[in-house]
Amino acid sequence: MNTKDTQTLTISHFQAIEARAHELRAEAFANMMRSLFRALFRAPRKVVSCPSCARPLHG
Q: Are 36 and 29 contacting, i.e. CB atoms less than 8 angstroms apart?
A: no
DSSP sequence for the chain: --TT-SPPPPHHHHHHHHHHHHHHHHHHHHHHHHHHHHHHHHHHHHHHT-GGGSPPS--
The pLDDT assigned to 54 comes to: 62
Region for residue 56 given its phi and psi (left: phi exceeds 0; alpha: psi -120 to 50; beta: otherwise): beta
The pLDDT assigned to 53 comes to: 67
Q: Is residue 51's pLDDT more than 80?
A: no
Q: What is the pLDDT of residues 8-33, one digit of tens each?
A: 889 999 999 999 999 999 999 999 99
The pLDDT assigned to 34 comes to: 96
